[in-house]
Homo-oligomer: A and B are copies of this chain.
Amino acid sequence: MVNYPNMKKSQPIIHENYNEKHYTTHRGMSLEEDISMSNQYYLANDKAVIYKKPTPVQIVKVDYPKREAAKIVEAYYKTPSTTDYNGIYRGKYVDFEAKETRAMTFPFSNISKHQIDHLARIIKHGGIAFVIIAFTKIGEVYLLDASYMVDEYYHATRQSMTYDTIKSLGHLIPQGYQPRLDYLKVLDMFYFKEGNK
In contact, B53 and A126 (Cβ under 8 angstroms) = no
In contact, A59 and B14 (Cβ under 8 angstroms) = yes
In contact, A57 and B81 (Cβ under 8 angstroms) = no
Q: What per-residue 1/0 map shows which CB atoms of A7-40 lie under 8 Å from chain B? A: 0001011101111000000000000000000000
Considering residues A48, A74, A122, which has the most beta carbons from chain B within 10 angstroms of its beta carbon?
A74
In contact, B76 and A75 (Cβ under 8 angstroms) = no
- Is A176 positioned at the interface, with any CB of B under 8 Å from its CB? no
Instruction: Considering the complex, give the chain B residue whose CB is closest to the CB of A18.
Output: B81
In contact, A71 and B82 (Cβ under 8 angstroms) = no
- Is A88 positioned at the interface, with any CB of B under 8 Å from its CB? yes
In contact, B127 and A91 (Cβ under 8 angstroms) = yes
Chain B residue numbers with a CB within 8 Å of A19 are 81
Instruction: Considering the complex, give the chain B residue whose CB is closest to the CB of A95.
Output: B88
In contact, B78 and A57 (Cβ under 8 angstroms) = no
